[in-house]
Amino acid sequence: MPTASVVVPAFNVAKTLPATLEALLAQSFEDMEIIIVDDGSTDDTAQIAAQFASSPRIRVVTQANRGLAGARNTGIAAARGIYVGFCDADDLWVPHKLATHVAHLECAPDVGISYSGSELVDDDGQPTGVSQRPALQGITAARVFKRNPIGNGSAAVFRKAALDAIAYRPGFETQRNWVFDETFRQSEDIECWMRLALTTDWLFEGVPGLLTQYRVNAGGLSAALDRQLASWERMVTKLRPLHPTFFDQHEDAARAYQYRYLARRAVSSRDGKNAWALATRACVTSRRPLIEEPLKTIVTLAASAVLKALGPAPISYASRLLAR
């Protein structure tokens, strides 16, 4: 059995899937399997996956479309490794990423999630100049709720036992357990991380370096803001009964951080009106982001104000501010 399994959810990703798979096959840690879950693709994804399946390290699972969470759950069910990572089919792993996480998990038996920072790249795979550099240690449930240090679904490698600890099976499910909630089409990551943080003793811990290249589609950011906020609120509503006291204490601050995060995405998509509305809403909701991260909060407000007042012309200046 392989030591590690890497699940690649794939839905209509013919353009980016080859680069993702080549990066995974180039991992320095070779005792691994790659599970491509073709989630009902209608483009050439299936043909590309079949071509790569000639590698003994690659398996392909095909299913009717169930969304990202459903594809990950199918991959988890098929995984044979004691460690499981997820790499979305438009993201990339640097060659030593898996080796770094496996070494970390083997040396830290209480850690259930090992994650890294990420470099953001554009549609063409070119660096945007922005990166996610999360806190690596001392991660509490409150920190996960407010700042989501994992950052994106391609950044972490999990101990399979940690995923098993939060698996459940809805009454209507006949095929396999759920780790990710398949009723979510956004916020499925943070919903899963929060459930793990609130209901188990597994630790979250990061490793140094930007080991993931996370692709962002700037053109689609603004249109998704309302949906992303709604799904985040739905996540809070779902999980609040698990620990009402925790949510009473941290919900307002976490919501303010969420507004600030969405404001920064609005700036990236050159949507000054939404950026300013979200940034000011964050300040009204809670002062915690301003107290705990004053520079980032002030920079977000400044970038939002510049974009709202002057339009998209100074966007390069605003982007430099956000990269601080």
How far apart are alpha carbons 145 and 293 in whole angstroms?
Answer: 15
Q: Are residues 143 and 209 in the same domain?
A: yes
Give the amino acid at 292.
E
Q: Which of 216, 232, 253 marks a domain boundary?
A: 216
Q: Around Cβ 169, how many Cβ atoms within 10 Å?
A: 11
How far apart are alpha carbons 30 and 25 in whole angstroms?
Answer: 8
Q: Are residues 256 and 191 in the same domain?
A: no
pLDDT for residue 321: 56
How far apart are alpha carbons 221 and 59 in whole angstroms?
Answer: 32
Q: Are residues 26 and 172 in the same domain?
A: yes
pLDDT for residue 221: 47
Task: Output the tens digit of pLDDT for each of the chain's 324 residues.
Answer: 999 999 999 999 999 999 999 999 999 999 999 999 999 999 999 999 999 999 999 999 999 999 999 999 999 999 999 999 999 999 999 999 999 999 999 999 999 999 999 999 988 888 988 899 999 999 999 999 999 999 999 999 999 999 999 999 999 998 899 999 999 999 999 999 999 999 999 999 999 999 999 998 755 444 578 899 999 999 999 999 999 999 999 999 999 999 999 999 888 888 889 999 999 999 999 999 999 999 999 999 999 999 888 876 665 554 555 555
3-state secondary structure 184-248: CCCCHHHHHHHHHHHHCCCEEEEEEEEEEEEECCHHHHHHHHHHHHHHHHHHHHHHHHHCHHHHH
Q: Are residues 88 and 158 in the same domain?
A: yes
Q: Do 31 and 4 touch, CB atoms closer than 8 A?
A: yes
pLDDT for residue 320: 56
Q: Which helix (H) or strand (E) covers residue 294, if one does?
A: helix 294-310
Mention every residue, 6+ apart, whose C-beta is less than 8 A from residue 226.
none
Q: Are residues 212 and 287 in the same domain?
A: no
Q: Are residues 110 and 235 in the same domain?
A: no
pLDDT for residue 309: 86
pLDDT for residue 166: 98
